A and B are shown apart, each in its own frame.
Chain A
Amino acid sequence: MSKLNIIGQVNHLFIFIRMQMMYDFTDGGVLLRKYISVNLGWWHNLKNASEKLWQRFSLSVFAPLFHSLYPASRFPIKSRGPQDALIHFLYLAGAYRQRIPGTKVTVRDKLAKLLLRAEEPHSPIDKQGVYHLYNLKFLLEYAIPSVALRSLYKHTLLLSPFFVVVKISILE
Chain B
Amino acid sequence: MYGREIEEGPHVIWYDNYNKMYNKQLVSMSRDVLKLCNWTGRAVRPYLGTQPVSMKVKRSRGEIVPAMPQLSELWEFTEVIDRAIIKQTASTIEDSDSQQIPTDFLDSSFYVLYGASRVPLKPDENKVPEEYKEALRHSPDTLENFHPAGLIEQNIGSNEGLARVIRKLYDEKKMGSVLGASHYVALNVDCNIFSRLMKVNASTQCVSSSVLFSSS
Contact = CB atoms under 8 A, between A and B. Distances in A.
Q: Tell whether A and B belong to one assembly.
A: yes
A152 B141 CA distance: 13
A32 B187 CA distance: 11
A103 interface: no
Interface in A1-25: 2-15, 17-23
Nearest to B14: A41
B106 A140 contact: yes
A86 B99 CA distance: 27
Interface in B173-204: 173, 175-176, 180-181, 183-191, 194-204
Main secondary structure of the interface of B (DSSP, over half): mixed
A4 to B, nearest CB: 4
Number of contact residues on A: which range applies? Answer: 35 or more
Contact of B92 (A17, A39, A47, A167): A167
B206 A37 contact: no
Interface residues of B, number: 79
A14 B132 CA distance: 50
Contacts of B106: 93, 96-97, 140-141, 144-145, 149
A21 B85 contact: no
Contacts of A44: 190-191, 194
Contacts of B170: 31-32
B184 A35 contact: yes
Given A17-B204, A36-B184, 15 more contacts: A12-B208, A14-B204, A21-B163, A21-B198, A23-B200, A31-B176, A34-B68, A38-B189, A40-B188, A44-B190, A90-B117, A97-B106, A145-B105, A149-B110, A162-B85
Interface of A: 2-15, 17-23, 31-41, 44, 46-48, 83, 86-87, 90, 93-94, 96-97, 119, 134, 137-138, 140-142, 144-146, 148-150, 152-153, 159, 162-163, 166-167, 170
